Amino acid sequence: MTSQPTYKGIVYPWHCDHMGHMNVMWYVSKFDEATWAFFNELGLTPSGLRAEKRGMAALDQRLVYKREALPGDMLEIRTRGLEIKPKIIRFIHEMTDCESGEVSATCELTAAHLDTSARKAIPFPDDVREKAATLIGDS
């Protein structure tokens, strides 16, 4: 599957630490925004999740930092699905500098679909699994 854009934004000075580059907390924040955009694309919309008392929970998150992001850098995150199981999805984000095209960081995540009342993992709806499978290339 080809990746899809899920985030685009600028590195502001307040995103930077005492060493002058974007602090790790902002990488996580930007990857989190991309995650919710990806879920929305799958049909896991905020209103639908609230109405059905459903949610998503991160089970594993692995970040790799490859280059500094500096104030003024325009960043884009593209997301690619890796695997869909009945209750679990695995995907990867790639953050690139829009000007240079260099990869700044990657973030691979594993997440579970939840019943927020029972606080346990449940299967994804069929339409979400089907959409994810097409994005991953399994169908």
pLDDT digits (tens, 9 = 90+) for 93-104: 999 999 999 999
The CATH number of residue 40's host domain is 3.10.129.10
> pTM here?
0.94
Q: Which residue has the higher pLDDT, 136 or 97?
A: 97
Strand partners, 89: 84, 111
Residue 120: predicted pLDDT: 97
Dist. CA 124–CA 87, nearest whole Å = 6
What percentage of the chain reaches a pLDDT higher than 70? Answer: 97
Number of domains the chain contains: 1
Domain limits for position 110: 4-136
pLDDT at 40 over 50: yes
Contact at 8 Å (CB) between 113 and 123?
Answer: yes
Interior angle at CA 108, CA 78 and CA 4, nearest 5: 20
Q: Rounding to the nearest 10 degrees, give the CA dihedral for residues 23, 24, 28, 29.
A: -20
**What is the pLDDT of the chain when averaged over all its residues?**
95
Q: Give the separation between CA 120 and CA 38, rounded to whole angstroms.
A: 22
Orientation angle between helical segments 126-136 and 24-42, nearest 10 degrees = 110
Local confidence band at 137 (pLDDT 50, 70, 90 cut-offs): low
